[in-house]
Structure 1
Amino acid sequence: MSEKMVTLVSSSGSFGGKQEVWSHESKELKCKMNFSVYIPPKVKDNSGIKVPVLYWLSGLTCTEQNFIIKSGFQRYASEEGIIVVGPDTSPRGVNIEGEDDDYDFGSGAGFYVDSTQDKWKTHYRMYSYVTKELPKIIDENFPVIKGCQSIFGHSMGGHGSLICALKNPGFYKSVSVFSPISNPVVGKWGQKCLTGYLGNNKKDWEEWDATLLVKKYKGPALNLIVEQGAEDPYLADELYVQNFIDACVGANVAVDYRLHEGYDHSFYFVSTFLGQHIKHHANILYSTVY
């Protein structure tokens, strides 16, 4: 453990392992960032064993806390023997005028893009943070198998998971999403964030839209699951999941799309199917090791 790189914020026993929160000074975001790490019992006592890592990306308004408190994922991560990492959703306290004005832009709404607009571009680089800086921090400070990682997320974090996987073919062994913002160039949340972070040129938005990216994807199998509640109030006007599914079919990208009657956008929905996702990722990750 490199004490200069990361600082322990909290540690609690959970299903034989430890649910921890760590902080560090981010070079990409130019601020102090927290991230959560679940350490399964398989590796918690400095046994020398290394395990795969699964990255979770949360949705609008979340911090690193929401997922670790609400989802109950620790039971499944303990059973499957994988480390699960969850970053915050944006820079915090960087003193940009208006950063705390709206729930769906600025603080808690980094949208997992690298901003190009003068007001935001110094700090709002969540894509590079998630795909470059954070994996390096995890590789150097925790008992993970380098290069053996997958990614999953919810809502805005579903969008982030999809674009991270599509823009980095082969980097993640699998990807799964719950209620993802799938076609942000046409959704209200997406348009607001893309305009604010990237400007008014809609051509610049296209590299951050999963529905458009998947049409030109040429990498290895994504091992992709899309989980969606049929009663999700955001399905029609914000998520546009069917657009993404249709694009996958058109591009011959295999996707396991699961639409569930009686479920909405909440963590009640996420927690219902979360165990299946973690098992899915663990099976694929361990199959690449042995």
Structure 2
Amino acid sequence: MDVISTAKAHGGVQGVYRHRSRTTDCDMTFAVFVPEHQPGEKLAVLTYLSGLTCTHQNVMDKGEFRRAAAKHRLIIVTPDTSPRGADVPDEPDNWQFGSGAGFYVDATEAPYNANYRMYSYITDELPALLAVNFPVATTRQGIFGHSMGGHGAMTIALKNPDIYRSCSAFAPIVHPARADWSRPAFEKYLGADAKAWRDYDTCLLIEDGKRFPGFLVDQGTDDQFLENGLRPELLKAACETARIPLTLNMREGYDHSYNFISTFMDDHLAWHAKRLKP
């Protein structure tokens, strides 16, 4: 693991790191904020998954999470959204697919299956790397994200409730099998048979019997993607049918941007901290 940069923030350290990933077969960059702590002390860890077109850096620069993370003593991990590199297949003119748009799936279709294995990277390789290099309490993990990252966080939590104790999302894509901006990507990554998409769709995973102790979701009412991509009412219906507790906050006048995310970041970190206590 190479250290790209470190800086002191709110008493802790914000670092950016790079390593060669065996899962995605390319170099991967990620960021970690570690609050001030005692030698030998292990802290709860919260992984934030970003949305389409983003890298590890968007939430670092605009998410305003470090003050609350220091207060609640949470390690915050911000991975990249996809594999990257000259040898990684991509569609540079398509912001909804390829670089910056890995959708947190393990691709099964060539040529994408060689690199686009973000589900396994997030749930397996990255946590193992963190456990060796940072003071993380591996039994106290949470996950959250925005938009495509909210989709990733919720599907990962539903499939791994033994690993993640908390999950929340900002404006998540809750039913990507039906959303205009995710269906083409799913077909390229996972094939034309929509049955294969069910494993990466929050509403369909719940329909198929996956469960989680509860979700927190914030959604702006002025989000430009609300009607044709996000559809929080579908998540509400799925959770009600499955009796999964859902706190869905429709935030009047807010859009899809980091202005919205940063406004409610403190609420999400406090919510996770309560569930990640020793």
TM-score norm. by structure 1 comes to 0.93
d(CA) in 1 for partners of 2:36 and 2:206?
Answer: 37
Q: How does 1:207-286 map to 2 (within 5 A)?
A: 207-219=199-211, 221=213, 223-286=214-277
Unaligned runs of 5+ in 2: none
Query: Aligned in 2, Cα 1:220/1:58: closer, same or farther, shift over 3 Å?
Result: closer
Equivalent residues of 1:216, 1:251 under 8 A apart: no
Q: Is 1:156 equivalent to 2:151 in the alignment? A: no
Q: Deviations over 1:65-115 (max 9, x none)?
A: 000011110010011111000100000114245442311100000000000
Aligned-pair CA distance for 1:219 = 4.3
Q: Is 1:168 equivalent to 2:168 in the alignment? A: no
Unaligned runs of 5+ in 1: 1-5
Q: How does 1:87-236 map to 2 (within 5 A)?
A: 87-219=79-211, 221=213, 223-236=214-227
Equivalent residues of 1:31, 1:91 under 8 A apart: yes
SS of residue in 1 equivalent to 2:247: strand
Aligned-pair CA distance for 1:42 = 2.2
Equivalent residues of 1:94, 1:123 under 8 A apart: no
SS of residue in 1 equivalent to 2:81: coil
- Kindly, what percent of the aligned residue pairs are identical? 44
Query: Aligned in 2, Cα 1:234/1:219: closer, same or farther, shift over 3 Å?
Result: closer
Equivalent residues of 2:90, 2:99 under 8 A apart: no
d(CA) in 2 for partners of 1:32 and 1:198?
Answer: 23
Specify the alignment match of 1:7 in structure 2: 2
d(CA) in 2 for partners of 1:226 and 1:143?
Answer: 28
Q: Which one of 64, 67, 71 corresponds to residue 63 of structure 2? A: 71
SS of residue in 2 equivalent to 1:189: coil
SS of residue in 2 equivalent to 1:188: coil
Q: Which one of 20, 25, 33 corresponds to residue 28 of structure 2? A: 33
Aligned-pair CA distance for 1:147 = 1.9
d(CA) in 1 for partners of 2:184 and 2:60?
Answer: 28
Which residue type is aligned with residue 246 of structure 1? A
Specify the alignment match of 1:19 in structure 2: 14
Runs of 4+ in 1 over 3 A off after TM superposition: 96-99, 216-220
